Structure 1
Amino acid sequence: MNIFEVTFVAAVLTATTPVVLAALGGMLCSVSGVFNMALEGQMLWGAFTAVVFSHLTGDVWLGVLGAVTCTVLYAAILSFSAVSARADPVVIAVGTNLLALGLTAFLMRLVFGSGGTYSSPDLRGLPTLAGLGLGEVPLAGPILGPQSPLVPLTLVLVVAVAWWLSRTRSGLRLNGIGQHQEAAESLGLKVGAYRHAAVLGAGALCGLAGAQLALGNVTLFSEGMSAGRGWVAVVAVMLGRNRVYGVVAACLLFGVAEAYGFRLQGAGLPQQAADAAPYVITLIALVLVQLRRRRRRARPGGLESDTVHAEGAAR
Structure 2
Amino acid sequence: MFSVELLDSALFASVFRALIPILLAAIGGLICERAGVFNIGLEGLMLSGAFAAVAGSYFSGSAYAGVLSGVVAGVAVSSVLAYGAVTRKGDPIVLAVALNLFAVGITAFLLVAVWDVRGVFQDPRIVGLKTMPIPALSQLPWLGSVLFNLTLVGYVALLVVPVVQLVLFRTAVGLRLRGVGERPLAASSLGVQPGRYQYGAILASGALCGLAGAQLSLGNVVQFAENMTSGRGWIAVVAVMLARAHPVGVLGAALLFGFAEAIGFRLQGNGLPSQLTDAAPYVVTLVALVVARRQFARASTSVAT
* TM-score, structure 1 as length reference: 0.92
Aligned positions, number: 301
Inter-partner Cα distance in structure 2 for 1:218 and 1:33: 34
- Match of residue 286 from structure 1: 289
C-alpha distance in 1, partners of 2:129/2:136? 15
CA distance in 1, matches of 2:137, 2:130: 12
Aligned to 2:277: 274
Q: Deviations over 1:114-160 (max 9, x none)?
A: 11000112211001124x76785333542246531211111111110
Q: Which residue of 2 aligns with 1:196?
A: 199
Which of 98, 103, 111 is the matching residue for 2:101? 98
CA contact (8 A) 1:134 1:144 kept: no
Distance 1:11 1:174 in 2: 35
Going from structure 1 to structure 2, the CA distance change for 1:4 and 1:94 (only over 3 Å counts) comes to: same
Partners of 1:147 and 1:216 within 8 A in 2: no
Letter in 2 for 1:143: V
State the shift of 1:247 in Å: 1.2
Alpha-carbon RMSD: 1.6
Unaligned runs of 5+ in 1: 303-315
Amino acid at match of 2:151: S
Using the TM superposition, give the Cα deviation of residue 298 of structure 1 relative to its aligned residue in structure 2, in angstroms.
3.8
User: Which of the numbers 9, 12, 19 marks the counterpart of 1:9?
Assistant: 12
Is 1:138 the counterpart of 2:140? The answer is: yes
1:185 aligns with 2:176: no
Q: Deviations over 1:40-68 (max 9, x none)?
A: 00000000000011111111100000110
* CA 1:116–1:146: 2 relative to 1, 3 Å: farther
Asked if structure 2 preserves the Cα contact closer than 8 Å seen for 1:129 and 1:135, the reply is no
Alpha-carbon separation, structure 2, partners of 1:134 and 1:38? 40
> Is structure 2 residue 77 aligned with structure 1 residue 79?
no
* Equivalent position of 2:68 in the other structure: 65
Q: Structure 2 stretches of 5 or more lacking a match? A: none
1:218 equivalent among 203, 216, 221: 221
Q: State the 4+ residue runs in structure 1 displaced beyond 6 angstroms.
A: none
Paired position in structure 2 for 1:242: 245
Q: Identity of aligned pairs, percent? A: 46
Give the counterpart letter for 2:55 in structure 1.
V
Correspondence for 1:37 = 40
**Contact kept? 2:49, 2:213, Cα under 8 Å:** yes
Paired residue secondary structure (2:111):
helix
- Within 5 A, what are the aligned runs for 1:167-178? 167-178=170-181
Amino acid at match of 2:11: F
User: Partners of 1:168 and 1:300 in 2: how far apart?
Assistant: 30
Q: How many Å apart are 1:248 and its aligned residue?
A: 1.2
- Structure 2 counterpart of 1:313: none
CA distance in 2 between partners of 1:234 and 1:157 (Å) = 17
The range that moved more, 287-296 or 33-42, is 287-296
Q: Distance in 2 between matches of 1:56 and 1:4?
A: 40
> What pairs with 1:102-117 in structure 2 (closer than 5 Å)?
102-117=105-120
| Post-superposition offset of 1:295 | 2.9
CA contact (8 A) 2:138 2:146 kept: no
Residues of 2 paired with 1:169 and 1:163: CA distance? 11
The one-letter amino acid paired with 2:104 is L
- Write the deviation string for residues 15-56 of structure 1: whole angstroms up to 9, x where unpaired: 010000000000000000001010000000000000011111
User: Deviation of residue 284 (structure 1)?
Assistant: 0.8
Q: Provide the rounded CA distance (Å) in 1 between the counterparts of 2:230 and 2:112.
A: 20
Any conservation in 1 of the 2:138–2:147 contact (CA below 8 Å)?
no
Q: Within 5 Å, which residues of 2 pair with 1:247-262? A: 247-262=250-265
Give CA-to-partner distance per residue, 1:63-110, whole Å, 9 cap, x none: 000110111011001000001111000000000000000000000001
The TM-score normalised by the length of structure 2 is 0.95
Contact 1:10 1:147 survives alignment (8 Å): no
> Shift of residue 300 of structure 1?
6.5
CA distance in 2, matches of 1:17, 1:162: 17
Inter-CA distance 219–267: structure 2 relative to 1 (3 Å threshold): same
Structure 1 residues 227-238: aligned runs within 5 Å = 227-238=230-241
Q: Distance between the aligned counterparts of 2:136 and 2:48, measured in 1?
A: 31
